[in-house]
Amino acid sequence: MKKEAISVVDMSSKTDPASQSLATNCSPTLTSFDSATGFFTFSTHCGTSLNNWDQEIQLVDWATIVTAEILAENQEWDQIKTVVPDVLNSKAQVHCTCPAFQYWGHQYNLTNDDNSALQPNSVPPSAVNDRGELSRDPDERHSCKHLVSVYNTFFH
């Protein structure tokens, strides 16, 4: 059975407690939004690390939820989610350029558990402790703090 992507709301609910907690120190900015395709890019600055990382979100079933008639009158994301609140439950695929997303299990789990990685990654998490055991709760990680900050700011 082919796995289907899950919604941003569902991804957010599957986020580990550490990423949820650390997301409060991050400030995302919407850098581009393609209303024709439901593709978003963000840049997120985190106060704890002082780094900026980029995120991408593709709402997979955008065209079936947001019709041409709606787009004719609503081009901005805030307008669209007000007119069509179900868009927040749209299936999504996500990506973040931070190393944690790639190496700590987020991208791997989104690829293998949910088919929600925009850029699939079949390499298991590499974060190991001094005994060689996987650490940082790799099975529980589905979104880094940067993506969580985007979810909390733009997809509520």
- Computed over every residue of the chain, the mean pLDDT equals 88
Residue range 71-115, pLDDT digits in tens: 999 899 999 999 999 999 999 999 999 998 988 888 888 888 888
Residue 87: closest CA among 147, 154, 32: 154
Q: Is the pLDDT of residue 27 over 60?
A: yes
Closest CA to 94 of 73, 77, 109: 109
pLDDT at residue 137 is higher than 80? no
User: Which of 139 and 146 is assigned the larger pLDDT?
Assistant: 146
- 139 or 58, greater pLDDT: 58
Q: CA 119 → CA 95, 102, 126, distances in Å? A: 7, 10, 18
At residue 31's C-alpha, the angle toward residues 143 and 156, to 5°, is 50
Quote the pTM value.
0.89
